Amino acid sequence: MQTPSVSEVQALVATHATSEEVRTRFDYSDLGFAMHRDHLRIEGFRALEELLSSVPLLVFDFNMGPEDLAQNLHDGTSGFRADYAGMPGPRGGTIFRVDHHYPVVAQLNQQSTTPMVLSWLKGLHAAGQSDLLEEVARSRYLANHWDCDILFSQHLARKADDRSYLEAVGPILEAAALRNDHVELPERELETMEALAYNAGQALDAKVTAGELRYHDVQANWLPRLGRWIAGGPRCDQLAAWATQSHQREQERLAVIRSWDEAGRLRQELGGRLVVLDGEHPIQNATFYFYLRHSRPFDGKRIQLLYFLEAPGHFKYKLRSHGGANLTPLYEHLRRSVAEAGFNGRFSAGGSKLTTVPPERVLEQLRQYLENHDWS
């Protein structure tokens, strides 16, 4: 079947964009479609999935509802399906759905999509599934963000039929994706390939967000250069420079949080089970998590809350758990008690939409929930 035209995609985006200002903030090419989740309603991604499904389609590292789980590489019942071959799309192409954002599945709580994809593809090679691997490799992508995990998992899928590449490059990208999602890996020197991949991925994420690079260019040009370097090929000086700058920015963000801590904007409550940071401006939740793990260690389960003004009178709240605390019941509590804030997320991380709900109201509900739930 013929693939959708740019005008068809534009019309669909215009219908489902979150505002008129963001209607043109998408990237559509012969490799796929990318638009940030803040700029397109979930119904728009659903419609795009159907529109683009005349060809094989990668829907990696995000889902559009719990009903997607049955079609996922891990379907919530039979575990990771070694023989997973995707699901037929409404327009004839196969939809490959691989994602770890399903809080109800315990096996996915400390997973990332990149290691899931790598394990699956290596299994298909071991089983001699060459036709399926070729189908995965020629698939297009549908993306609603561009962090390390979605970038690297899609890149490995595009190299699905190259076993030696997967074996050489896959473990490095896997480690970087886990560092991105869970901040669990030990600190490494910048010169190691895992750190290079992580910092390069962070840099590419920032450049797509800033409009300095197209998502297409990252998948078509920059990730292949990174992969060749990891596999022993030529060094890419531009990626090295971006990775170094990204590492420096992360250190600067940690210094900012340290300054807020010293100014009394970070506080612990309920015996340390709740840590709250009142940020002066937007900052990454993962950076706060990293700061706490190394500067405020805690033996047990706890929740961190980061909040800041993102626009006049409008707050953004971000949650993260430590020690394996499951946030899913907390989201349900917050959706009941402060519904207008729109809290949602996965097992270990989530947050609100942009909201006028004041911090004290959110904190009151967090305290109420924690006082009635023993996670020890």
Q: Are 120 and 204 members of one domain?
A: yes
Contact 257, 291 (CB under 8 A): yes
Strand residues in the chain grouped as ranges (E): 26-29, 32-35, 57-60, 87-88, 94-98, 140-143, 266-269, 274-278, 302-311, 314-322, 344-345, 349-351
Domain membership of residue 119 (yes or no) is yes
* For residue 182, pLDDT beyond 80: no
pLDDT-based confidence at residue 374 (cuts at 50, 70, 90): confident
Smallest CA-to-CA distance from 329 within 344, 308, 312 is with 344
Smallest CA-to-CA distance from 218 within 159, 154, 261 is with 154
Q: Which residue has the tokens 């992508």?
A: 141
Domain that holds residue 190: 6-236
- Considering only 100-104, 132-136, 208-212, which range has the smallest mean pLDDT? 100-104
Q: Are 123 and 209 members of one domain?
A: yes
DSSP-assigned beta bridge partners for residue 350: 319, 345
Domain membership of residue 297 (yes or no) is yes
Strand ordering across the sheet containing 314-322: 266-269, 274-278, 302-311, 314-322, 349-351, 344-345
pLDDT digits (tens, 9 = 90+) for 104-155: 888 888 899 999 999 999 999 999 999 999 999 999 999 999 999 999 999 9
* C-alpha to C-alpha distance for 342 and 346, rounded to whole angstroms: 14
Domain membership of residue 300 (yes or no) is yes
Q: Are 194 and 299 members of one domain?
A: no
* For residue 375, pLDDT beyond 50: yes
pLDDT digits (tens, 9 = 90+) for 283-314: 988 899 989 988 998 988 999 999 999 989 99
* For residue 281, pLDDT beyond 70: yes
* Residue 373 or residue 307, greater confidence: 307
Q: Are 64 and 206 members of one domain?
A: yes
Q: Are 47 and 181 members of one domain?
A: yes
* C-alpha to C-alpha distance for 173 and 164, rounded to whole angstroms: 14
- Considering only 64-78, 175-189, 282-296, 329-343, which range has the smallest mean pLDDT? 175-189
The domain tally of the chain equals 2
Cα–Cα distances (Å) from 261 to 258, 267, 368, in that order, read: 5, 8, 25
**Domain containing residue 302: CATH number:** 3.10.310.30
Biggest CA-to-CA distance, the chain: 61
Q: Are 79 and 19 members of one domain?
A: yes
What pTM, to 2 d.p., does this model score?
A: 0.88
Domain membership of residue 85 (yes or no) is yes
Instruction: Give the 3-state secondary structure of residue 86.
Output: coil
Read off φ and ψ for residue 88, nearest 5 degrees: -65, 130
Q: Are 54 and 145 members of one domain?
A: yes
Contact 156, 117 (CB under 8 A): yes
- Please give the DSSP secondary-structure letter assigned to residue 38: T
Q: Which residue has the tokens 């490995």?
A: 156
Burial of 165-190, coded b for 16+ CB within 10 Å and e otherwise, reads bbeebbebbbbbbbbbbbbeeeeeee
Q: In the prediction, which pLDDT does 345 show?
A: 85
Q: In the prediction, which pLDDT does 328 show?
A: 87
Domain membership of residue 252 (yes or no) is no
pLDDT digits (tens, 9 = 90+) for 9-53: 999 999 999 999 999 999 999 999 999 998 999 999 999 999 999
Domain membership of residue 243 (yes or no) is no
Q: Are 41 and 130 members of one domain?
A: yes
Q: In the prediction, which pLDDT does 1 show?
A: 58
pLDDT digits (tens, 9 = 90+) for 215-231: 999 999 999 999 999 99
The angle subtended at Cα 40 by Cα 285 and Cα 338, nearest 5°, is 55
Domain membership of residue 249 (yes or no) is no
Q: What is the percent of the chain with per-residue pLDDT over 90, rounded to a whole number?
A: 84
* Residue 264 or residue 185, greater confidence: 264
Q: Are 212 and 325 members of one domain?
A: no
Q: Are 48 and 178 members of one domain?
A: yes
Q: Are 209 and 295 members of one domain?
A: no
* For residue 236, pLDDT beyond 70: yes
pLDDT-based confidence at residue 99 (cuts at 50, 70, 90): very high
Domain membership of residue 257 (yes or no) is no
Instruction: Give the 3-state secondary structure of residue 237.
Output: helix
Structure tokens, 211? 């409009």
CB neighbours of residue 299 within 10 Å? 7
* Residue 178 or residue 9, greater confidence: 9
Q: Side chain identity at 323, as an amino acid letter? A: G
Q: Are 288 and 361 members of one domain?
A: yes
Q: Is 228 exposed, middle or buried (0-12, 13-18, 19+ CB in 10 A)?
A: middle
**Average pLDDT for residues 269-289, to the nearest whole number?**
94
